[in-house]
């Protein structure tokens, strides 16, 4: 009986220590991510306020039409109109950040695919790109989950 109690206590102690170490590591990772995002916001974000405004507006569109379960009831004609706007905007932009330029190129490619192929998955990816760029450029804090699709946030 004493042995069983001792083993149970040891197992619980190991589980407790493991949980503590896991939570601590997650908190440290979150703090590092927040620091990197702040650095990006202070450099790339401030240098590209005009692009940031377009990103904010586009992100709002995707939140309203494709977010929170909206992918199941997309009005594809509206998505195609937005995709064509995205292409037009990207063609007019001239970022001086290689990572932002790469992200805008991906947005353009995804937008061209939405316009031509009407793919729901491309709409999802556009929403994720605009979400992450909104965090990077505009201090967006509506949902701080970072999807990790952009080079801009990775460049930090």
Considering only residues 96 and 84, tell me which one the structure prediction assigns the higher pLDDT.
Answer: 84
Max distance between CA atoms of the chain, in angstroms, equals 76
Considering only residues 9 and 115, tell me which one the structure prediction assigns the higher pLDDT.
Answer: 115
Has residue 42 got a pLDDT over 70?
no
Identify the pLDDT of residue 17.
66
Instruction: Bin 17: left if φ > 0, else alpha if -120 < ψ < 50, else beta.
Output: alpha
Lowest mean pLDDT among 55-64, 114-123, 129-138: 129-138
Identify the pLDDT of residue 2.
73
Distance CA 90, CA 54 (A): 10
Has residue 32 got a pLDDT over 90?
no
Considering only residues 151 and 9, tell me which one the structure prediction assigns the higher pLDDT.
Answer: 151
pLDDT tens, 47-86? 677 898 999 999 999 999 999 888 999 999 999 999 999 9
Identify the pLDDT of residue 56.
93
| Contact between residue 147 and residue 27 where contact means Cβ atoms under 8 Å apart | no
CA distances from 67 to 36, 73, 92 (A): 26, 10, 27
**Both tokens of residue 139?**
């201090």
Average pLDDT in the chain: 82
Lowest mean pLDDT among 16-20, 119-123, 137-141: 16-20
Distance CA 29, CA 35 (A): 10
Distance CA 134, CA 60 (A): 10
Quick one: DSSP state of residue 96? S
Reported pTM: 0.74
Identify the pLDDT of residue 39.
61
């Amino acid at each position: 009986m004493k042995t069983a109690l001792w083993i149970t206590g040891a197992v619980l102690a190991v589980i407790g220590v493991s949980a503590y170490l896991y939570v601590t590591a997650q908190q440290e990772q979150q703090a590092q991510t927040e620091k990197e995002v702040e650095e990006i916001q202070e450099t790339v974000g401030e240098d590209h306020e005009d692009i940031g405004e377009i990103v904010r507006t586009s992100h709002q569109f995707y939140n309203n039409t494709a977010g929170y379960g909206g992918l199941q009831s997309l009005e594809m004609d509206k998505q195609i109109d937005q995709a064509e706007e995205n292409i037009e905007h990207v063609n007019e932009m001239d970022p001086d950040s290689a990572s932002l330029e790469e992200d805008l190129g991906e947005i353009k490619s995804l937008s061209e695919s939405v316009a031509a192929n009407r793919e729901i998955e491309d709409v999802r990816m556009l929403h994720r790109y605009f979400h992450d760029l909104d965090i990077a450029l505009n201090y967006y804090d509506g949902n701080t989950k970072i999807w990790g699709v952009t080079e801009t946030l990775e460049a930090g």
